Amino acid sequence: MELVILDTAEAIAERAADKIEALLTTKPDAVLGTATGSSPLPLYDELTRRCAAGRLSFAQVTGFMLDEYVGLPAGHPERYATFMEVNLRSRVDMRPGSLHGPDALAEDLQAACAQYEEDMAAAGYCDLQILGIGSDGHIGFNEPGGPLDSRTHVDVLTEQTRRDNARFFGGDIDAVPTHCITQGLATIMEARSLVLIATGEGKAKAVAQLVEGEVSTDWPATVMQRHDDALVLVDPAAASLLT
């Protein structure tokens, strides 16, 4: 696992975009794993700029989202499908319908999880997976305590995660869903490259565990230590508890 500390969120976005640009140059029909939340937003801005400038194209790219809330109706602004449509898909030349997510509106959620895993397997899993990290160490929505070999499943969001994400729901923790569908840790680890972005001091403890802790279900992101091509991009605040 490679750790790079960069001064600003913009510098991090550029570094992550360089990696994606290199991938799309050699493999225009790459499979890209996308994350939601605030961490990748500067990256999506940078990818949008590079696409507009003709430096890269998503025309042949297939995307797979990491996760989706259960319980939000279609079109809800905080649904991750909406988030990805607004912040990436519609801003670049990615074909409508080419960015997939788990069907968290399905009646049978277990079947929806199995279907999503099957769809990802059929696509050969991701060439590159973009990740953020929760302050409790989750990646995707794999919350602490879950097995390291999990596949796409329904997970229960921790109180900490719901508190962290209340900012997207008008500050109201009760408006934050309690459940989600997420790629499992083993699903995420299938990606040929992982690029994790963490900014701000709220991520410092999770980053310290990710980089310096033992691999443990208590800090799910630590499983990334076992990946051959994992890049961790952090700002000085997120790096502040590293020894």
Q: Is 31 in the site for ligand F6R (CB under 6 A)?
A: no
Q: Is 136 a catalytic residue?
A: yes
Q: Is 104 in the site for ligand F6R (CB under 6 A)?
A: no
Q: Which is nearer to ligand F6R, 23 or 220 (by Cβ)? A: 220
Q: Is 117 a catalytic residue?
A: no
Report the largest interatomic distance among the alpha carbons of the chain, rounded to a whole angstrom.
47
The residue count for the chain: 243
Task: Output the smallest distance, CB 242 to ligand F6R, in A.
Answer: 18
Q: Other CB atoms closer than 10 Å to residue 3's CB: what's the count?
A: 16
Q: Which is nearer to ligand F6R, 30 or 220 (by Cβ)? A: 220
Q: Is 139 in the site for ligand F6R (CB under 6 A)?
A: yes
Draw the binding track, 35-64, toward ligand F6R (x: CB under 6 A; -: no contact).
xxxxx-------------------------
- Nearest residue to ligand F6R by CB is 132
What does the binding site for ligand F6R look like in residue numbers (CB under 6 A)?
35-39, 66-67, 132-134, 138-141
- Residues identified as active-site: 67, 136, 138, 143
